[in-house]
């Protein structure tokens, strides 16, 4: 069942209405039909993924690579989205795709941010070291030799050498100095935090939370951080449980609309 353009208002004018397709996908067992419906959903939402990728252009990565990363984030969003929760797919997909792009920059670009001049020094030093490796085999060129080869001051060579160490991070599989039996850095790390999947969502709603009335902020805090029931919140604030339920729904709708507006 091909996706249809929605008649509802969306931050993206061409946002497709794939609610029916998602409901069908949830009922399908793995197989050709499941893959077909999944592919139709992905194709319908690719324009949105491309626009999100465009927000990160001119940051040192090619547009095509960013589009591929955004498409990967879209695939993850489609596979993880649960229509039974009642939330619009767009509100789940936007932070998921954005998070995937940000992780790409974190994992594939410079480990730490350095000024452009330092990046240029790194390249000059690297080329000089490569050239000198042909004339001084068997040992590492001295700082003075690199400076002479590159036409730089020794102080600049030291900056370039330090920058070379900042381009990539130490592998987690690297064996620790003095370690035994192949003990690596990854062995010292803890297990992944199961709450990491919702970090992006929490960050996305922060600006909208500050714009809510004080009472609405209190209700949201008590419900989602204080783990109180609606009845408990109603008793504490002196209002009805039905009123608490209505306010929670309005707050969540407002926050979702704000996230969609910011993403657009």
Q: Is 194-263 in the same CATH topology as 4-108?
A: no
Residues 172-227 have pLDDT tens digits of 666 666 555 666 666 666 666 666 667 767 777 788 888 889 999 999 889 988 88
Structural domain boundaries of the chain? 4-108, 116-167, 194-263
User: What's the pLDDT score for residue 161?
Assistant: 86
- pLDDT at site 166: 64
Higher pLDDT, 158 or 194: 158
Contacts of 208 (CB under 8 A, 6+ apart): 254, 255, 258, 259
**Helix (H) or strand (E) run with residue 16 in it:** strand 16-17
Token pair, residue 143, equals: 């700082």
Q: What class is the 4-108 domain?
A: mainly alpha
pTM above 0.75, yes or no: no
Which residue bears the tokens 């410079």? 110
Q: Is the pLDDT confidence value at 10 over 50?
A: no
Where does 81-166 have alpha helices with state H? 89-108, 116-135, 143-150, 154-164
pLDDT grade for 83, boundaries at 50, 70 and 90: confident
pLDDT in tens, 134-143: 787 778 889 9
Q: Which fold has domain 194-263?
A: Arc Repressor Mutant, subunit A (1.10.10)
Domain 116-167 has CATH 1.10.10.10: yes
Provide mean pLDDT across the span 155-166.
83
- What pLDDT shows up at residue 32? 93
Neighbours of 153 (CB within 10 A): 11
29 half-sphere exposure, CB direction, 13 A CA radius: 0
In our burial notation (b when 16+ CB lie closer than 10 A, e otherwise), range 98-120 reads bbbbeebeeeeebeeebeeebbe
């Amino acid at each position: 069942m091909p996706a249809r353009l929605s008649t509802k208002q969306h931050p993206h004018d061409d946002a497709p209405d794939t609610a029916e397709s998602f409901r069908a996908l949830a009922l399908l067992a793995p197989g050709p039909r499941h893959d077909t419906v999944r592919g139709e959903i992905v194709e319908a939402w690719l324009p949105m993924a491309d626009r999100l990728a465009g927000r990160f252009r001119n940051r040192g990565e090619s547009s095509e690579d960013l589009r591929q990363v955004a498409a990967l984030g879209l695939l993850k969003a489609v596979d993880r989205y649960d229509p039974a929760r009642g939330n619009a797919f767009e509100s789940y997909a936007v932070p998921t795709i954005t998070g995937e792009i940000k992780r790409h920059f974190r994992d594939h670009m410079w480990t730490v941010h350095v000024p452009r001049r330092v990046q240029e020094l790194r390249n000059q030093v690297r080329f000089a070291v490569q050239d000198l490796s042909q004339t001084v085999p068997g040992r590492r060129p001295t700082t003075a030799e690199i400076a002479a080869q590159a036409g730089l001051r020794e102080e600049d060579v030291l900056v370039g050498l330090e920058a070379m160490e900042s381009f990539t991070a130490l592998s987690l599989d690297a064996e620790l100095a003095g370690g035994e039996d192949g003990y690596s850095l990854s062995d010292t790390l803890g297990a992944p935090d199961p709450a990491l999947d919702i970090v992006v969502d929490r960050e996305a709603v922060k600006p909208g939370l500050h714009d809510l009335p004080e009472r609405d902020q209190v209700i949201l805090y008590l419900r989602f951080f204080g783990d109180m029931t609606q009845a408990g919140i109603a008793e504490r604030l002196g209002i009805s449980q039905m009123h608490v339920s209505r306010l929670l729904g309005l707050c969540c709708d407002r926050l979702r609309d704000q996230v969609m507006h910011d993403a657009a």
